[in-house]
Structure formats: C-alpha cells, structure tokens
A and B are shown apart, each in its own frame.
Chain A
C-alpha cells in the first residue's frame, strides 16, 4: 500500500505568491514523523521542515509551514512569498514509530516559480 501520496506531479506559482503542495499519508502507528525535502536540479535532498504526530501546533520554518491535519492524514507544505530559487522537486516523507528507521518518500511534486 502506498504510504505517502503526492497527487500533484507539477505545480506553477507566480513569484511572491504562496503555494500549497499536497501530501497525504497512511499509517496505523500513533507515533510518526513527517518530513518535507527539496531536491533542486543539482540532486541533493535538502531538509525543509518536520512535523511530529504528537505536535499540536503546525510546524513553521521561515517561509515554510506545514498544514498538519491529523484526522485527514494530510501534511501539506505551504511556501509563502515564492522565490525563483524555490523551483525544484519537493518530496514528502514519513517515518513511523520510535525505532523504525524506514523513511518512505512520496513521488514528489515539481514546483516551477514563474517571474
């Protein structure tokens, strides 16, 4: 079964506008972590933001925020004030349990920021 689903293969956003990248997940664990990574054309995966399943507040890191809706099992990434350098692939990932080390990634969303 697919653990992480990203339904948007590609997204476009105008520079300086906000964009939301969707992510839904599937788990029966009560304890899990959700991650977003950015992968520019250079290939390196860059960590953006983390949300724990027990965190009551949505995570924020600068221009990145995570819209965590636990009951709906969604963890959407919101990027505010988009910049040209935000153009990249974005991957949602999940890690279940405390000692489970397998991080599962979604298929990714390619974001293009237009000037």
Chain B
C-alpha cells in the first residue's frame, strides 16, 4: 500500500541554523500539507500546497518557513533560522483529488538546542 514517507526521522540542530524537512507524498496525490505537534500538545496546521503554490497558511507559518516541491516527488519544509520553540514533531500529509482524507507520514522529530 502506498504511503507518505518523511526524512529524517529525527533532526537535531542548533538554534539559528537552517533545516530542511523532506517528504515524499503518495505519487498520484495533488494536495500537500505540513502540520506541527509540539510535545504534549495538539496537532496544528501549518500550510497547504496545491498546483505549485501555497493554498493556505496559518499564523504559525511566518517568514521563517517556506515550502517547495523541487521535483515531481519531494515536498520540503524549510525553517531558515530555527528557534527553540520550533522543537516539535512535523507531519507531512497528502491527499488525492477525489478523496477527503489526508494520509500522514510518520513525522520528523525536530530538536532545536
């Protein structure tokens, strides 16, 4: 069964460094998402992406964040200058046009020191 994959599973970085989180959505999916879950808190929407542009973004998704689909398979989330409060689990999700459920990847745990 096709699934969303994310790399790395765990990323440790120093405050102020740039990180890129990578996702490979399911191949025929057209909608892509990033969510964040700070430890012990609920999952929060960051951004949705369709047709090579951002469809919607939350107030969390400020100028430090960017997303890209650099080729036909990868979907990336870049954080330019990480802060301590960026430490969280980051989930990628994708959705096919005709379905209404999003399929989530296993997440990347980001730790900012």
Do chains A and B interact in one complex? Answer: no
B-binding residues in A (CB < 8 A): none
A-binding residues in B (CB < 8 A): none
